[in-house]
């Protein structure tokens, strides 16, 4: 019971942080947009603003409904899945970067925000790996240790990555980081393979369904983070939403929530 209470406290803290971040995000967009040559309505329909905004809205509502769905009872698996959903808020930084580039602000601002956005991306990917690890049938599940390690590792990597400003269609795609993108791909494959291993070990089809749902989520979140295409955004959101619904239902069914 004490462990569940700690998890709920951590999730609540993340929710508070997300609320503050969203208010700051909206306020900063409104403040910066007044110096732009286009109107606020023209700015908001730009893919670099609209796509991250929709992602943030999805993050807020999905966390709210999942917590209701699981009756505020945060198992280790759901805990890390909620952490992943909350990290989607960091996608909103892409909008701020876009506006700063339009205003020709110093590149140092853009680089700092890029590091913060990638910090959220790395935490999200590792949170899904931890989610898969928590489905393994073991008594000891050191969620606090894992979370601390993930946060420290993500911070370390985000600080050390050699970012350069990319004033392209999507500023969050940084050319020349092939080794980093490959490392993230390996982690994603490990996430899916962990769930497949659980299926082989337990002979329970629900784990295989979780693996398929995870592929949807990984593909959707990746697409939303990097795409600047409206079609890409629609496909990414459809994959992410489908995967989120299925994975929540499967976890609910797997542990027979009351």
At 31-40, the pLDDT tens digits run 666 666 665 5
Cα separations in angstroms, 5 against 12, 75, 86, 165: 10, 10, 19, 42
- Whether the pLDDT of residue 166 is over 90: the answer is no
Q: How many domains does the chain have?
A: 1
Longest CA–CA span in the chain (Å) reads 60
Cα separations in angstroms, 81 against 34, 75, 120, 133, 146: 37, 10, 14, 12, 13
pLDDT of res. 108:
79
| DSSP code for 180 | H
CA angle 126-128-129, nearest 5°? 60
Identify the CATH number of the domain in which residue 131 sits.
Answer: 1.20.1070
Residues with Cβ within 8 Å of 45's Cβ and at least 6 positions away in sequence, in order, are none
pLDDT of res. 205:
82
Task: Return d(Cα 126, Cα 81) in angstroms, integer.
Answer: 10
Pull the structure tokens for residue 143.
Answer: 């969620």
pLDDT of res. 165:
62
- Whether the pLDDT of residue 139 is over 60: the answer is no
| Mean of pLDDT values over 132-151 | 75
- Cα radius of gyration rounded to whole Å, the chain: 18
Alpha-carbon torsion, ordered 6, 118, 40, 229, to 10 deg: -120
Pull the structure tokens for residue 111.
Answer: 């680089």
Domain range for 40: 2-254
What is the band of 243 on the pLDDT scale with cuts at 50, 70, 90? very high
CA angle 113-228-60, nearest 5°? 65
Helix (H/G/I), strand (E/B), else coil: 138: coil
pLDDT of res. 258:
44
Write down the pTM of the prediction: 0.85
Task: Return d(Cα 130, Cα 194) in angstroms, integer.
Answer: 10
């Amino acid at each position: 019971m004490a462990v569940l209470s700690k998890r709920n406290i951590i999730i609540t803290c993340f929710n508070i942080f997300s609320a503050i971040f969203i208010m700051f995000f909206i306020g900063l967009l409104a403040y910066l947009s007044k110096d732009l040559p286009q109107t606020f309505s023209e700015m908001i329909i730009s893919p670099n603003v609209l796509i991250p905004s929709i992602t943030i809205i999805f993050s807020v509502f999905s966390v709210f409904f999942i917590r209701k769905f699981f009756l505020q009872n945060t198992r280790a698996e759901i805990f890390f899945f909620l952490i992943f959903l909350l990290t989607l808020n960091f996608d909103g930084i892409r909008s701020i970067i876009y506006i700063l580039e339009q205003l020709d602000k110093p590149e140092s601002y853009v680089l700092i925000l890029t590091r913060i956005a990638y910090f959220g991306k790395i935490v999200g990917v590792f949170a899904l790996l931890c989610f898969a690890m928590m489905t393994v049938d073991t008594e000891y599940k050191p969620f606090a240790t894992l979370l601390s390690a993930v946060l420290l590792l993500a911070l370390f990597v985000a600080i050390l990555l050699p970012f350069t400003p990319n004033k392209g269609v999507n500023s969050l795609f940084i050319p020349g980081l092939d080794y980093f993108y490959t490392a993230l791909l390996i982690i994603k494959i490990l996430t899916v393979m962990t769930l497949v291993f659980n299926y082989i070990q337990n002979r329970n089809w629900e784990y295989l369904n979780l693996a398929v749902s995870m592929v949807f989520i990984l593909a959707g979140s990746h697409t939303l983070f990097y795409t600047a295409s409206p079609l890409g955004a629609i496909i990414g959101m459809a994959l992410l939403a489908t995967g989120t619904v299925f994975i929540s239902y499967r976890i609910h069914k797997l542990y027979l929530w009351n």
